[in-house]
Amino acid sequence: MEFYLDTANTEEVKKASRLAFLDGITTNPSIIAKEKVDFKTKIQEIATLIDGKVWCQATGSTADAMYDQAIEMNSWGKKMVIKLPMNFEGLVAAGELVKKDVEVNMTLVNSLSHVVLAAKAGVTYISPYVGRTDDQSFDGQRFIREALQTIENLKSPTKVIGASIRGPQIAVDLANAGIDAITMSFDTFEKMVQSPLTDLGLAQFTQDWTNYMDDLKGN
């Protein structure tokens, strides 16, 4: 399973870059807008800070505009993934980019018909938004499982990346469901790392070791 963090914050990216298992950084227009930095400058900065893939989204409204943006953005780093919206224009642009061997992610995939169309377009990834799906009273994890089965039935190499993951247990559940990749905020990642029991155990080990060293010094 590929593992990504969804951020454009420089300090978070720097900290995340120390993780050997990190497969890359994903972004979207909303995340970039929060940083109040030139789009190209920010993506290129991220690309210099990590070894993995950098995902960025085309913002054009037509297939031609998205295609032109994607070709330029693909040159901003060594391992770029171009995100396109799951609509008609996005599918047209995706088909042309796939011919150029550009890795494409169809984002905002919200139905199994979307899954079928994106897989037929030959994109590398699709990204259903688990949390946003749950917000609309649909079962986001069930949708992920059905999407995986649909892609398997189509014998498509398209991968499913779970996005909008709002808690550690959701990440675990998706991993157990056999998802291809996940991306989450840095805050959610930190919650995966943290455990009060681990903190208590480490504090006890530290205290016992300190007492042991003090005893040795006293002998």
The residues assigned a catalytic role are 83
Q: Residue for token digits 């943006």? A: 69
Nearest to 9 by CA among 17, 103, 90: 17
Considering Cα of 7, then 8, then 9, then 15, what sign does the dihedral take?
positive
Q: What are φ and ψ of residue 91, in 5° steps?
A: -65, -40
Tell me whether strands 80-85 and 104-107 are parallel, antiparallel or unpaired.
Answer: parallel
The enclosing H or E element of 51 equals none
Whole-angstrom distance, CA of residue 139 vs CA of residue 80: 31
Q: How many residues does the chain have?
A: 219
SS3 state at 1: coil
CB count in 10 Å sphere of residue 34: 11
Q: Contact, 162 vs 128, CB < 8 A?
A: yes
